[in-house]
Amino acid sequence: MNLLLPENLSDACELLATHEGAIPIAGGTDLFVHWPQRPDDSGQTYLDLSGIPELRAHGWSEGELRLGALTTYWDIIQDSQVQAALPLLVRAARQIGAIQIQTRGTWAGNVVNASPAADGVAVLMAYDAVVILRSREGTEECPLSDFYLGYKSMRRKSDQLLTGIRIPVRSYDLQLFEKVGSRTAQAISKVGVAVTRRGDDWRIVANSVAPTVCRCPALESFLASGRSVGEPADLAEALRSDIAPIDDLRSTARYRETVLSRLLYFGLKDACIQFS
């Protein structure tokens, strides 16, 4: 196994460009689960980002929060300003793994790992986050809602590092994050949802019900139209074209669809949405 240890971002981009197939490591909480049994045999090259201080900080500028590539869930849980301005980030972070994962795992790693169950991705997408990608050739940005192309497939080239995440700070009428797993902590979502609303502008983002974390545009339009909702099944009907749940080791497609519509129905009712 080869380990590259850059100390600044431009060196990291240079190394990624010149070592084809090198794999970036941030907190390692996803990568180490699949760590080779005998690392010496693997011949794989890893690019450890942990020695690059400029990637760690998060901060505020021009009406947005900027997360660095090494910003962890714990950094966000501890920040009372984030709790006040973007509470879903804190709510999701508190439910990711447990404290050991929260102190090592990064938001950027959650995005690039591209799991359909990624809780961090759901809340970032509900807040219209934008990812910043950098390579030796330059920097580009992509709205997170356009970033994924399919299961574990995304608009990130192999020589690009995700160097930051921009999250606009807006005022919302409603913000909701719900997750159902086998337990309250240390559980990957069987189904989850993040919701934001400003007037008629809804973001409904679901996880574990499609090959990627996904926005639900049909349900967003349905809710914006103010059409009548009598029970969770009415939301399930509207959701059907947005999601493609499957049976797997964690749950069944039927459970996921049913529970998602119930999470939404009762979550929105609790938040005082008047269904006619």
Ligand X SMILES: Cc1cc2nc3c(=O)[nH]c(=O)nc-3n(C[C@H](O)[C@H](O)[C@H](O)COP(=O)(O)OP(=O)(O)OC[C@H]3O[C@@H](n4cnc5c(N)ncnc54)[C@H](O)[C@@H]3O)c2cc1C
What residue ranges bind ligand X (CB under 6 A)?
23-31, 33, 49, 69, 96-97, 101, 104-106, 108-110, 112-113, 118-120, 161-162, 186, 188
Token pair belonging to 243: 């999601």
Shortest spacing between CB 5 and ligand X, in angstroms: 14
Closer to ligand X by Cβ: residue 124 or 238: 124
b/e code 111-135 from CB counts within 10 Å (16+ = b): bbbbbbbbbbbbbbbbbebbbbbbb
CB 121 within 8 A of CB 129: no
- Minimum CB distance to ligand X smaller for 197 or for 256: 256
Closer Cβ to ligand X, 98 or 273, answer by number: 98
The DSSP line for 100-125 is: HHHHH-BHHHHHHHT-TT-HHHHHHH
Kind plus residue range of the DSSP H or E element containing 208: none
As a dihedral over the C-alpha atoms of residue 188, residue 32, residue 163, residue 97, rounded to 10 degrees, the angle is: 30
**Residue number with the shortest CB distance to ligand X?**
109
Q: Closest CB to ligand X among 39 and 226?
A: 39
Residue 29 or 175: which CB sits closer to ligand X?
A: 29
Least distance CB 94 / ligand X (angstroms): 10
In angstroms, give the least distance from the CB of 194 to ligand X: 12
> Least distance to ligand X from the beta carbon of 270, Å?
23
How many angstroms separate the CA atoms of 234 and 211, rounded?
24
**Which residue's CB is nearer to ligand X, number 112 or number 209?**
112
Q: How far is the CB of 95 from ligand X (least distance, A)?
A: 6
Measured CA distances, 217 to 114, 163, 228 (Å): 20, 28, 18
For residue 255, the minimal CB distance to ligand X (Å) is: 18
* Strand partners for 133: 140, 162
